[in-house]
Structure 1
Amino acid sequence: MALLLGFRHLGRPLLWRDELATWSATTRSLGHLWGLLGNVDAVSGAYYVFLHGWTAVFGDSPVALRTPSVLAVGVAAGLTAALGKRLFGARAGLWAGLLFALVPAVLRYAQEARSYGMVTAAAVLATWQLVRVLDCKPEWSPRRMRLEWLGYAGALVLTGLLHLVALAVLTSHLWLVWTRRRRAWRGLLAATVLALAVLSPLLIAGRAESGRQINWIQRPNLLAFPGMIHDLTFAWPISIALLVLALVACTTRDGLRYLPVPFLPIAAVWIASQGSNSYWVERYLLFTVPLWTVLAGAGAERLVRARWTAPVAVAAVAALAFTGLRAQSSPWSHTGTDWRAAARTISAGYRPGDAMVPERGGASVYMLDLGLDYYLPTRVHPKDLFLAKTAVARDDLMPTECAVPTACLDGAPRIWVVTFGHAHDPLAGLPKSQQAALGAQYSVVKIDHVKGLTIGLLAHV
């Protein structure tokens, strides 16, 4: 189910800012990629290196960029079912896996060229492996136990390599050890220390770069919890349905015992976000959704004794999810900026020798230049007029522009100016110095508007 939903219309949504950053990073040489990670986005390094090899084989189309995420979410769905089976039985596991696949937010990040689908699979794998160790058989030798704990530590390392915030799943693991097999705390401690030791260079690098990468995230207050409950599914009906099923699961001793498991990582991230950096973003917490649906799957199985009621409950959730799932595969589910239409407009009127000025400045984080670069055909190469140093040359995701724009005008006969929003003056979104430089030598001959963008064509006076 997760794979069917994920591959359906996989290439339809336009790439958004973070996916464009992924494309920029992973299509560089390994040397340039290493230089980038030394300045920014080190916490995404493992994902970038993997996708670098992937795109070398399968290309950089939207489908190629997003396919690893779809596959990872498929793995996560299967592991969710396996985890549910270990905790509550096979049928409850089946409902848990199906419920996970039907969450609109899961589909959203299955169809995104970022690491969130992979880290969700890694976190569920670590949780499943921990429960496996806690349920160890009497005949397992000490050597076998050490290998099993080593496997758990490896899953933790994989989780941290893909996204450090997902290590908050350790709070759930501590609860599982406390409630399921307390004497296993030594193994949990040893595996955790080993994993953190391996991840320590990344933890240090992530801390050093955090001021730039996540300084935009606001510190949450207590009122942020209801919003997060919605954002983890993208739909209130789904969130409420899963909560109700989770509460139904609490009518059993095991259900009540495991109730804190999905919520402890959320609480841990909220507490951590009260410090110098905030991590309160729904996609950072996507890894908690499988834990939530495992409890909901147990509730679906527990609903009443009749065998047909659990499938009916899951079908009801599917019906509630239909609109949300459909919305996730629209062209605008990722971004409200139509890079593709802007690229078509420029391509249709392009002449050799044309230049281009994309809006950067304070809007540089929205990757307008990368959006155009990605969707412009290879035959169209307008010169980036005010570009002083490329992002690749800077080992960064952002380029630098000419400090004195008038010094960078090279007499291009025509210039395409692309800015955000719908404006009557296509120069309005540019810095004042660039407006003055262009206005002195060029006049606007054409203005086009596409979703989220204004495209102006300037000709030399």
Structure 2
Amino acid sequence: MEGRISAARARAALRRLPVWAPPVALALFLGVRHLGRPLLWRDELASWSAARRSAGQLWGLLDHVDAVSGAYYFLLHGWIQLFSGSAVGLRLPSVLATAATAGLTALVGRQIFGARAGLWAGILFAFVPTVLRYAQEARSYALADTAVLFATWQLVLLLDRKGPRPRGRTAWAWAGYGATLVLVGLLHLVGLSVLAAHAWLLVTRRRDAWRGFAVAVALAVLALSPLMLFGQDQSDRQLGWVPRPGLTAVPGMLHDLTASWPVTAALLLLAAVGAARRPGLVYLPVPLLPVFVVWIGSQGAHSFWVQRYLLFVVPLWTVLAGAGAERLPWSRWTAPASVLLVGALAFTSLRSESQPFAHTDTDWHAGAAVIADGYRAGDAIVPERGPGAPYMTDLGISYYLPPTIHPRDLFVSVPAVARDDLLASECARPASCLHDAPRIWVVGYGHTLSPLTGLPRAQQSALTAYYRLTEIRYVNNLTLGLLTRKS
């Protein structure tokens, strides 16, 4: 008898649990687990390079590159002053933001489809492998997702309010929504494509609220216009590598948004079940419209068709999938079973997202360890930067070297910080920059017979004229060589 009472009390306590709590707890658990295990990749190294500069140096950087990431860089700059620049420290804001997004997904789902549907939506979001991938990345995408979902939740609450409301309070509510839109743009301008989905919610839920919506959007765009102009000036460097998508790119994006075909198929199936009834069918364009807006916008001078730029679509998608789970026959049992099935389908991908080479196949840690083990005072380093310096080999090795070891970057004429850039300038005449270094560590990108292979010819000539290769080591995607001066 006592056992039955205890079980009944436990069930009652679970029913009183806020709908957002389980998704938040799950996202936090998955995000914090093995947070420091994946090696930092190029974009995370750029975040670290920017965040550790002074406020003045950071302003100088944003005047030349990455202005659209400026808000995130300043946030991370303050964060590492309080915590640390370790991989865990750099990535923790993204984990916390992802947990908040999971909770907001549940709240949006509850507001539109009911409490249980919201619960399933938040849990499904936390199970998506790409969500974990960007929860464990020191970039702004997870934070932008949070801002998008918070704006969506604010809008749905505004549209669903019943009865008269004091005009002043309504104006403040719309001002809060507009302020969140500004935050979306500051964290990632592509996130503003969610306005297409918000306009659809306005049309289908409360058309007479269009004045407040229009004013909030107009003021947000006006506030963001300087950033948009800066971003436009820097767009060639920021987006020149992104190809223009064709129609066949859309199915590929559906996979890329989850990084798992089984998870994609399961979420599409649940979303189809959710859309089989009128409320779900009305909601269906919400996760689709931002994708089509970005696809259309990518047909112009610059393409924005990058999976991580559209990550905010995933929670909008799982809101409908959560509704589908709750609309399955015998949903008391089949809804949680379907959500757990998605978790099982995602299990292998979730594990792989937290492996050391989940973000990059370059073992900066092992390469730095080789140099640290053999380092002598006065040693210099020559990292292969590649055409246009895309490899960031200098940052990768520098990040993982012990703080007491600082080999001089031999061919750097103007450091990146002095240039207000992420990239350093190299000597036009390498032979004049050798400075009688007794030993030089050369770090080549990829595996080659000689670590000098990828260096510019002038650097190769200067090094081979005065130095000989005495040691060569290989680690994942790096070739390291030790050069000693010829007698």
| 1:30-429 map, 5 Å | 30-362=55-387, 364-429=389-454
Residue matched to 2:469: 444
The CA distance in 1 between the partners of 2:332 and 2:82, in whole Å, is 47
2:7 equivalent in structure 1 = none
Give distance in 1, aligned partners of 2:48 and 2:471. Answer: 31
Stretches of structure 1 lacking an aligned partner (at least 5 in a row): none
Question: What SS class does the counterpart of residue 169 from structure 2 fall into?
Answer: helix
Give aligned pairs, total. 461
Q: Which moved more, 1:118-127 or 1:138-147?
A: 138-147
CA distance, structure 2, for counterparts of residue 412 and residue 151 of structure 1:
59
- Which deviations, in whole Å up to 9, do the C-alpha atoms of 1:294-320 show, x marking residues without a partner? 000000000113411100000100000
Distance 1:306 1:43 in 2: 44
The structural deviation recorded for 1:147 is 1.0
1:433 aligns to what?
Answer: 458
Distance 1:304 1:142 in 2: 44
What's the CA shift for 1:363? 5.9
Q: 1:8-23 maps to which residues of 2 (within 5 A)?
A: 8-23=33-48
Percent identity reads 61
How far 1:430 moved relative to its partner?
0.3
Deviation digits for residues 352-373 of structure 1, max 9, x if unmatched?
Answer: 1111100014162221100011
Contact 2:391–2:445 (8 Å) recurs in 1: no
Counterpart amino acid of residue 305 in structure 1: W
* AA partner of residue 234 (structure 1): A
**4+ runs of 1 displaced by more than 3 Å?**
none
**2:358 partner amino acid:** S
- In 1, Cα distance between the equivalents of 2:331 and 2:290? 34
CA distance in structure 2 between the partners assigned to 1:157 and 1:127 by the alignment = 13
Gaps of 5+ in 2: 1-25
The amino acid that maps onto 1:132 is L
| SS of alignment partner, residue 364 of structure 1 | coil
- Counterpart code for 1:366: Y
User: How big is the shift at 1:3?
Assistant: 0.4
Please state how far the C-alpha of 1:187 moved relative to its aligned partner. Answer: 1.4
What secondary structure, in the 3-state scheme, does the structure 2 residue paired with 1:107 have?
Answer: helix
Residue type at the aligned position of 1:379: T
Residue identity opposite 1:220 in structure 2: P
Q: Following the alignment from structure 1 to structure 2, what is the Cα–Cα distance between the partners of residues 205 and 383?
A: 34
Whole-angstrom distance in 2 between the partners of 1:324 and 1:447:
35
- State the secondary structure of the residue aligned to 2:311: helix
In the alignment, the residues of structure 2 paired with residue 42 and residue 425 of structure 1 have an alpha-carbon distance, to the nearest angstrom, of 38
Tell me how far apart the structure 2 counterparts of residues 155 and 252 of structure 1 sit (CA, whole Å): 31
Output the TM-score relative to the length of structure 2.
0.94
Q: Quick one: distance in 1 between partners of 2:393 and 2:314?
A: 32
Cα distance in structure 2, aligned partners of 1:255 and 1:456: 60
